[in-house]
Amino acid sequence: TSTLEKLPPVSVHAPEFVRNVIGEIVAGRGDKLPVSQIPVDGTWPSGTSAWEKRNLALEIPVWDAELCIYCGKCPFVCPHSAIRSKVFPEALVKDAPSTFKHVLVKGKEFQKDEHISYQVAPEDCTGCGLCVEICPAVDKKNPSRKALNMAPQPPLREQERENWDFFLTLPEYDREQLRFNTLKGAMIAQPLFEASGACVGCGETPYIRLATQLFGDRMLIANATGCSSIYGGNLPTTPYTTNKEGRGPTWNNSLFEDTAEFGLGFRLSIDRQAATASHLMTGLKNQIGEQLVQDILNADQTTEPGIFRQRERLEEVKKCIKGINSEDARNLESVIDALAKKSVWIFGGDGWAYDIGSSGLDHVIASGRNVNILVMDTEVYSNTGGQMSKSTPMGAIAKFASSGKPIAKKDLAMIAISYGHVYVAQVAFGAKDVRTLKAFQEAESYDGPSLIIAYSPCIAHGIDLSFNLRQQNLAVDSGHWPLFRYDPRLKEQGKNPLQLDSKEPTLPLKDFIKTETRFNMLFRFAPEEAERLLQQAQENAIKRFNYYKQLAAISFSEK
Ligand code: SF4
Ligand code: SF4
Ligand code: SF4
């Protein structure tokens, strides 16, 4: 008697392989697939999570184009890349579905006839509500209304699916024209990590999405085991995808205990290949052209346009050496791509960075090599079920700390800062968005090791993740999670390398702690011990902030 039908495991519009092979595995019928359907060389398509269309959301955000101030905050906080913005010439929307919303975009960086749209993927959205919570544009006549408002998904599904499909047909904006130093500009860039299977409202995934928007077409990622390896490579599907040129992050998973070294290996092999390519190209300069070889060897790749020009030059060389019949030419073909800048990233959680992989991480930052390390810090082993890590804060309950952790968390940032040559940032995207964006850009542009420690609210905290952003603000305002950036380059300019991005704690630590079950459980069964640990943690938070404040106040003007 039911009028409802079970949805197919993947979209009916998905490519054949996704429907016939991946879809069957998603549906739990993988063991019925004939071996002949599986690619003989083991290759597997990427960008496949977006075909799953999980339809988890009971409610989805609905955009009000009239109220919107195009701040870019909604795509910035979305853990599932399910709300996106694009800017396009108005002429391109003449055949748009009648309910597709767009509005003239203001800003000197855009052309006069360009429009902007913030579009939701109704079947990828998980209904976490973070985009609505962050939206600052309120209707003055009706303060309960914003530029984004949640509304039931089922009646909107068909209409918004059509709008989303149309939105995807619109071209991506020219990256050379985007202002990546603003949220509005950076969020127009295409995410190359989408529709992951992370928990609804996960605090980790916005950092990964952001990194792929900024550097995705040249990223190599070494991912430690943990949540990020599960939602990152949740085969048979993967959320990592490519742009229209077919470029996207190269993603690899390794063990807890060797991921930093694994990522360092990427750096070393790329640098070795680049050196070999330079040597071979110099040897063939008479055939390739001396000027072109010099332009490649001296290319400035500190900006994205510089990287794009370098890729064009390398294409020229590839065409030229195709006709050269020599072993050196063939060898050069195999390594020449290493001469275009690559962005090496090492991803993992606190279980990896603070505990099991800590000596490897130390080894890698001490190497001085150009790698970017992103620690998504949930302050507990999340994926394996909530075991204490060295990042677990004092007083929090976790497995192996069932009476509340008696000692303070390790200050990983300070350990890295003590080297002097490591770029270090401690960020929280929901508390300081522009500073988080800046930290990623500074880290990646630094020609040396960079460490970003990113606060990541998690279900293991015993919170409703629709309060993810509130929890980040409480953590920062109470001094639990101070924000700062340490940029060694500033020393060369006679400036203090340490910049504080958060103010002195304005809230008692208790105001943060009482909102999270991981802390307040202890108040229920051992109130005296909980109170003792709270007092100690409160003192530690103030001392730690004062310590950072003193370091940030040191004068570096005299060498
Ligand atoms: S409700 Fe959550 S998943 Fe959906 S678009 Fe907003 S932030 Fe993204
Ligand atoms: S957060 Fe609100 S105001 Fe900002 S871009 Fe999104 S809808 Fe517009
Ligand atoms: S367990 Fe925590 S870190 Fe892992 S996916 Fe869920 S919310 Fe994200």
Q: Are residues 290 and 398 in the same domain?
A: no
Q: How far is the CA of 337 from the centre of ligand 3 (A)?
A: 36
Q: Where among 189, 204, 222 does a domain terminate?
A: 189
Distance CA 457, CA 204 (A): 7
Residue 263 DSSP symbol: H
Do 525 and 409 fall into the same domain?
yes
CA of 230 to the centre of ligand 3 (A): 10
User: Are 547 and 419 found together in one domain?
Assistant: yes
Give the residue, by CA position, lying nearest to ligand 2 atom 5. Answer: 70
Closest CA to 485 of 410, 430, 416: 416
Which of 189, 209, 244 represents a domain boundary (last residue)?
189
- CATH number of the domain to which 27 belongs: 4.10.780.10
Sequence-separated (6 or more) residues with CB below 8 Å from residue 92: 170, 171
376 φ, ψ (degrees, to nearest 5) = -90, 100
Phi, psi of 502 (to 5 degrees): -125, 155
pLDDT of residue 42: 87
Using alpha carbons, select from 190, 237, 181, 94 the residue that is nearest to residue 438: 181
H or E element: which one contains 346?
strand 343-349
- For ligand 1, say whether the CB of 396 is within 6 Å of any of its atoms: no
pLDDT at residue number 7: 87
CB 188 less than 6 A from any atom of ligand 2? no
Q: How far is the CA of 75 from the centre of ligand 2 (A)?
A: 8
CA distance 107 to 235: 42
CA of 151 to the centre of ligand 3 (A): 25
Q: Is residue 255 in some structural domain?
A: no
Distance 379 CA to ligand 3 centre (A): 11
> Which domain CATH number covers 164?
3.30.70.20
Q: How many domains does the chain have?
A: 4
From 49, 53, 76, 83, give the residue whose CB has the most ligand 1 atoms within 8 Å, as the site to mutate.
83
Q: Are 225 and 352 in contact (CB under 8 A)?
A: yes
198 belongs to a structural domain:
no
Distance, CA of 149 to CA of 133 (rounded, Å): 9
> Are 104 and 11 found together in one domain?
no
Q: Is the CB of 131 under 6 A from ligand 1?
A: yes
- Cβ–Cβ < 8 Å for 191, 168: no
Q: How far apart are CA 290 and CA 88, in angstroms?
A: 41
Ligand 3 contact via 227 beta carbon (within 6 Å):
yes
Query: Minimum-distance ligand to the CA of 130?
Result: 1
Beta bridge partners of 136: none
Mutate to test the pocket of ligand 1, among 59, 74, 125 (most ligand atoms within 8 A of CB): 125
Both tokens of 458, joined, read: 């998690």
Domain containing 155 equals 54-189
CATH code, domain carrying 509? 3.40.50.970
- ipTM exceeds 0.90, yes or no: yes
Q: Are residues 71 and 39 in the same domain?
A: no
Residue 322 belongs to some domain of the structure:
yes
Distance 302 CA to ligand 2 centre (A): 31
**How many Å from the N-terminal Cα to the C-terminal Cα in the chain?**
82
List the one residue out of 370, 355, 409, 391 whose CA is nearest residue 541: 409
- Name the closest-CA residue to atom 1, ligand 2: 135
Answer whether 459 contacts ligand 2 (Cβ < 6 A). no
Q: Is 138 helix (H, G, I), strand (E, B) or coil?
A: strand
Whether residue 132 has its Cβ less than 6 Å from ligand 2: no
Q: Which of 173, 189, 205 is the last residue of a domain?
A: 189
312 and 417: one domain?
no
The whole-angstrom separation of Cα 65 and Cα 96 is 16
How far apart (Å, rounded) are the C-alpha atoms in residues 511 and 528?
Answer: 18
Contacts of 278 (CB under 8 A, 6+ apart): 297, 339
Please state the atom number of ligand 1 nearest to the C-alpha of residue 59.
Answer: 1
Nearby residues of 383 by Cβ (< 8 Å), 6 or more positions away: 225, 226, 227, 230, 349
- Residue 256 falls in which region: left (phi positive, over 0), alpha (psi -120 to 50) or beta: alpha
* Nearest CA owner, ligand 1 atom 6: 131
CA atoms lying within 13 Å on the CB side of residue 371? 32
Residue 41 shares a structural domain with residue 77: no
66 and 41, same structural domain? no
Contact 126 CB / ligand 1 (< 6 Å): yes
User: Counting ligands in written order, which one lies closest to the CA of residue 187?
Assistant: 2
Q: Is 32 exposed, middle or buried (0-12, 13-18, 19+ CB in 10 A)?
A: exposed
CA distance 60 to 41: 40
**Is residue 426 assigned to a domain?**
yes
Work out the widest C-alpha separation in the chain, in whole angstroms: 82
State the pLDDT at residue 559: 55
How far does the centroid of ligand 1 lie from the alpha carbon of residue 28, in Å? 27
Residue 220 lies in a domain: no
Per the rule left: phi > 0, alpha: psi between -120 and 50, beta: everything else, 421 is: alpha
pLDDT per residue as tens, the chain (559 positions): 888 888 899 999 999 999 999 999 999 999 999 999 999 998 999 999 999 999 999 999 999 999 999 999 999 999 999 999 999 999 999 999 999 999 999 999 999 999 999 999 999 999 999 999 999 999 999 999 999 999 999 999 999 999 999 999 999 999 999 999 999 999 999 999 999 999 999 999 999 999 999 999 999 999 999 999 999 998 899 999 999 999 999 999 999 999 999 999 999 999 999 999 999 999 999 999 999 999 999 999 999 999 999 999 999 999 999 999 999 999 999 999 999 999 999 999 999 999 999 999 999 999 999 999 999 999 999 998 899 999 999 999 999 999 999 999 999 999 999 999 999 999 999 999 999 999 999 999 999 999 999 999 999 999 999 999 999 999 999 999 999 999 999 999 999 999 999 999 999 999 999 999 999 999 999 999 999 999 999 999 999 999 999 999 999 986 5
Q: Whose CA is nearest to atom 1 of ligand 3?
A: 382
Tokens representing 441 are: 């850009």
Angle between helices 290-297 and 259-283 (to 10 degrees): 160
Whether 158 and 68 share a structural domain: yes
Partnered with residue 224 across adjacent β-strands are: 254
Please answer whether residues 147 and 64 qualify as being in contact, where contact means their C-beta atoms are separated by less than 8 angstroms: yes
Give the position of tokens 């299977």.
197
Structure confidence at residue 557 (pLDDT):
87
| Nearest ligand to residue 124 Cα | 1
**401 & 528 share domain:** yes
Which element (helix H / strand E) includes 500? strand 498-500
Type of residue found at 1: T
Please, what's the b/e burial string for 445-484 (b: 16 or more CB within 10 A of its CB; e: otherwise)?
ebebbbbbbbbbbbbbbbbebebbbbbbbbbbbbbbbbbb
In a domain, 33, yes or no: yes
528 and 433, same structural domain?
Answer: yes
The residue whose CA is least distant from atom 6 of ligand 2 is: 74
Whether the link from the prior residue into 152 is cis, omega within 30° of 0, is no
**Nearest atom of ligand 3 to the alpha carbon of 198:** 5
Residue 359 lies in a domain: no
C-alpha span between 453 and 470 (Å, rounded) = 19
397 and 491 part of one domain = yes
Strands (E), 231-304: 250-254
**237 is a domain residue:** no
Cα(468)–Cα(465) distance, integer angstroms: 5
Q: How far is the CA of 305 from the centre of ligand 2 (A)?
A: 29
* Tokens at 3, concatenated: 């009028």
